[in-house]
């Protein structure tokens, strides 16, 4: 019989519609701005009495609190207005001690029964949710210098093992120079070093009483180091952002030496900048013996006591790159510490160095690359130049009691916050080269809400115009098309929520475009039905022919658009991808609603009935 679906097809459509409705519902429950109060130590508890004190203090300050909650992680206070978050955090921070952390948060408001079905709202992008945008620049010169420092340390170790005397090392640009007391020592060193270090161009230099060996990195090696530095920094930054718990962050390369980082939903920009831009690393070195030659030693001050210093060996046992995991805790006296686990190579090197130096001191050297601005006058104009510099300080100097292995701890830290950040940096990995902030842009939650309101308004206007056009042009069939359009929008939102896709302003533009394109298939079908009616077909035959003969045109048109959307997604970045995601998902949902849902409605209304005239 014409225009009748089998029962299974109706049931399939109902199941899809039910799933779409359920998984689109969480978007009606946006996240609440909140303040999270949690303890940094297990012995500090937060109770109902303290929650009442916090909410009373906020109410007295004119900040509206919607709800307060207590769970295993601490206290969560939901606020009515996102603009009150910073003020609320400052008020509560003044009421608690150093053992309690007060942080900004966005709290889920999805009902429990939807959460039990793993239903969650769409993730909003930076332009809708607010957050921070960083443009970072990688210091390629420092990357080369760091590699040369590592090579110099390895060469010194090699020369000592071969009992070849040297006077010192010097690094300038991409050239490493070794000074020797005689040409014989220089020539012997060159034969040994050239075998293990083929990435240098070697040149003998004669100077006065001694001789020198200049080693310059080849152009290919320089390019490889710079490419490694940018890629390693990308990986490290992604790990750090993951540690921050940011939903749908963006970390990507821009040009030869820049990286873009976008963190949607982050409102504590100072903390984000401190963690993302931290260039800290650790070096483990032995304290120098009194009879150690000066060329093999360096002196450093302690970070928490500049009046105290220690002389360390230049050679590094291991760096923070050998750390496989790190966590913060407290020692038996309640002082913060970081528990370290090393990888296999790091554990071997640490064990080799400590088992032969029991009773000797080992230092943990904290290294941080920073920049400062200085004003330079050129042609009568003041120009601000960025001047990089490096701070090195000892955070721990302890006696080696026994041979260390893959696990040990770092003490001597100033605060639990410093311990938490140090463990985070060690877990996520150190940067292969220092990075500097070139640009910082903050988008506030209020601006994000304004973008959302405008985007919703554009969708409403587009939807209204399409609905009116279809009703005027196709009457009853226009009403059916509008029902399909509403279902299409619901399924699109559900699909984005289920896939965890990020909604951005360009994504909203894709939704508006999808609404306009969604009725194209219905227009093709309805115009075909009109043609068949004018050709003298019966109503049932015209409906059947309209859907069947328009099918190929609809599929062809949508597949070509879908291919373009996939290309945009594969080669585009950020905003372009957001547009491509909503467009491609919208094409799939519009084909489903136009070819199956609207026909199912038409079949239920007209199928198998003696209809003599169509309102189309």
Q: Which two tokens stand for residue 237?
A: 């930054």
The pLDDT confidence band at residue 99, using thresholds 50, 70 and 90, is low
More confident residue, 243 or 602: 602
* pLDDT, position 215: 92
Buried b (16+ CB within 10 A) or exposed e, 324-354: eebbbeeeeeeebbbebbbeeebbebbeebb
Q: What domains lie within the chain, and their CATH numbers? A: 7-26+444-606 (1.20.1640.10), 140-221 (3.30.1360), 282-416+428-441 (3.30.1360)
Per-residue pLDDT tens over the stretch 438-496: 887 777 656 667 777 887 888 888 888 888 988 998 888 989 999 999 999 999 999 99
Per-residue pLDDT tens over the stretch 524-574: 899 998 888 888 888 888 888 888 888 888 888 888 889 988 898 888 766
Strand order of the sheet with strand 318-319? 305-313, 297-302, 381-399, 361-378, 281-286, 318-319
The candidate with the shortest Cα–Cα distance to 55, out of 67, 47, 45, 44, is 67
Q: Which two tokens stand for residue 597?
A: 């849902």
The candidate with the shortest Cα–Cα distance to 514, out of 494, 483, 492, is 492
CA distance 79 to 96: 19
The candidate with the shortest Cα–Cα distance to 577, out of 525, 527, 503, is 503
Residue owning tokens 């000892």: 394
Q: How far does CA 144 lie from the centroid of its chain?
A: 27
The candidate with the shortest Cα–Cα distance to 434, out of 575, 544, 280, 300, is 280
Q: Which of 6-10, 90-94, 286-290 has the lowest mean pLDDT?
A: 90-94
Q: Does residue 114 sit in helix, strand or coil?
A: helix
Kindly tell me if the per-residue pLDDT of 341 is higher than 50: yes
The pLDDT confidence band at residue 299, using thresholds 50, 70 and 90, is very high
Q: Which two tokens stand for residue 245?
A: 């718990």
* pLDDT, position 279: 65
Phi, psi of 43 (to 5 degrees): -90, 5
CA distance 232 to 434: 11
Rounded to 10 degrees, what is the CA torsion of 283, 284, 288, 293? -50
Q: Which two tokens stand for residue 595?
A: 């070819």
Cβ proximity of 340 and 319 under 8 Å: no
Residue owning tokens 């405008």: 454
CA distance 433 to 225: 10
Kindly tell me if the per-residue pLDDT of 136 is higher than 70: yes
Kindly tell me if the per-residue pLDDT of 41 is higher than 50: no
Would you say how long the chain is, in residues? 616
Strand partners, 205: 212
Kindly tell me if the per-residue pLDDT of 44 is higher than 60: no
CA distance 510 to 562: 12
Per-residue pLDDT tens over the stretch 166-203: 888 888 888 999 888 888 888 888 988 888 888 899 98
Kindly tell me if the per-residue pLDDT of 14 is higher than 50: yes
The candidate with the shortest Cα–Cα distance to 203, out of 184, 216, 191, is 216
Neighbouring residues of 236: CB distance < 8 A, sequence distance ≥ 6: 428, 429, 430, 431, 432
| Start-to-end C-alpha separation, the chain | 22
Kindly tell me if the per-residue pLDDT of 511 is higher than 80: yes
The candidate with the shortest Cα–Cα distance to 539, out of 467, 605, 459, is 605
215 CB burial (10 A radius; 0-12, 13-18, 19+) = buried
């Amino acid at each position: 019989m014409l225009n009748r679906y089998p029962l299974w097809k109706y049931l399939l459509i109902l199941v899809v519609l039910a799933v779409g409705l359920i998984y689109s519902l969480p978007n009606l429950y946006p996240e609440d701005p909140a303040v999270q109060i949690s303890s940094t130590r297990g012995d500090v508890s937060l109770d109902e009495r303290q929650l009442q004190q916090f909410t009373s203090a906020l109410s007295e300050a004119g900040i509206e609190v919607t709800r307060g909650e207590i769970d295993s992680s601490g206290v969560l206070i939901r606020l009515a207005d996102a603009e009150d978050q910073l003020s609320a955090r400052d008020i509560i921070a003044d009421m608690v001690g150093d053992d309690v952390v007060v942080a900004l948060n966005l709290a889920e408001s999805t009902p429990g029964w939807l959460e039990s079905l793993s239903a969650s709202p769409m993730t909003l992008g930076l332009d809708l949710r607010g957050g921070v945008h960083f443009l970072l620049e990688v210091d390629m010169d420092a990357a080369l210098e760091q590699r040369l420092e590592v090579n110099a340390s390895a060469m010194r170790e090699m020369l000592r093992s071969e009992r070849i005397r040297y006077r010192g090392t010097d690094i300038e640009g991409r050239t490493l120079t070794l000074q020797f007391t005689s040409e014989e020592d220089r020539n012997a060193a060159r034969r040994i070093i050239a075998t293990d270090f083929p990435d240098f161009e070697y040149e003998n230099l004669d100077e006065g009483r001694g001789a020198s060996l200049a080693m310059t990195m080849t152009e290919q090696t320089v390019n490889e180091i710079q490419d490694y530095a940018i890629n390693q920094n990308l990986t490290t930054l992604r790990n750090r952002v993951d540690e921050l718990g940011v939903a749908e962050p963006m970390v990507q390369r821009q040009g030869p030496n820049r990286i873009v980082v976008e963190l949607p939903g982050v409102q504590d920009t100072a903390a984000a900048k401190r963690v993302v831009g931290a260039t800290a690393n650790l070096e483990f070195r032995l304290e120098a013996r009194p009879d150690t030659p000066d060329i093999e030693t360096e002196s450093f001050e302690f970070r928490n006591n500049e009046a105290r210093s220690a002389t360390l060996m230049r050679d590094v046992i291991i760096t923070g790159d050998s750390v496989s995991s790190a966590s913060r805790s407290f020692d038996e006296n309640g002082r913060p510490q970081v528990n370290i686990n090393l990888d296999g190579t790091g554990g071997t090197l640490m064990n080799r160095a400590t088992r032969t130096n029991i009773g000797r001191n080992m230092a943990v050297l904290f290294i941080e690359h920073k920049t400062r601005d200085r004003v330079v006058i050129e042609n009568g104009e003041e120009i601000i130049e960025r001047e990089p510099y490096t701070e090195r300080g000892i955070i721990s100097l302890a006696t080696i009691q026994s041979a260390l292995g893959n696990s040990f701890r770092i003490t001597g830290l100033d605060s639990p916050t410093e311990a938490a950040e140090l463990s985070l940096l060690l877990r996520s990995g150190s940067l292969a080269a220092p990075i500097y902030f070139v640009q910082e842009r903050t988008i506030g939650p209020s601006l994000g809400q304004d973008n959302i309101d405008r985007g919703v308004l554009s969708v409403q206007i587009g939807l209204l115009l399409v609905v009116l056009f279809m009703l005027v042009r196709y009457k009853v069939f226009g009403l059916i098309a509008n029902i399909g359009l509403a279902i299409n929008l619901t399924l699109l939102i559900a699909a984005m929520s289920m896939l965890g896709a990020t909604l951005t302003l360009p994504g909203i533009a894709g939704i508006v475009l999808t609404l306009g394109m969604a009725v194209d298939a219905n227009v093709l079908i309805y115009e075909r039905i009109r043609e068949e009616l004018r050709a003298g077909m019966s109503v049932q035959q015209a409906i059947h022919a309209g859907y069947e003969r328009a099918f190929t045109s609809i599929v062809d048109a949508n597949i070509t658009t879908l291919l373009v959307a996939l290309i945009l997604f594969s080669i585009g970045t950020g905003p372009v991808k957001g547009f491509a995601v909503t467009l491609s998902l919208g094409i799939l949902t519009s084909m489903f609603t136009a070819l199956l849902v609207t026909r199912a409605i038409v079949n239920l209304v007209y199928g198998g009935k003696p209809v003599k005239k169509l309102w189309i």
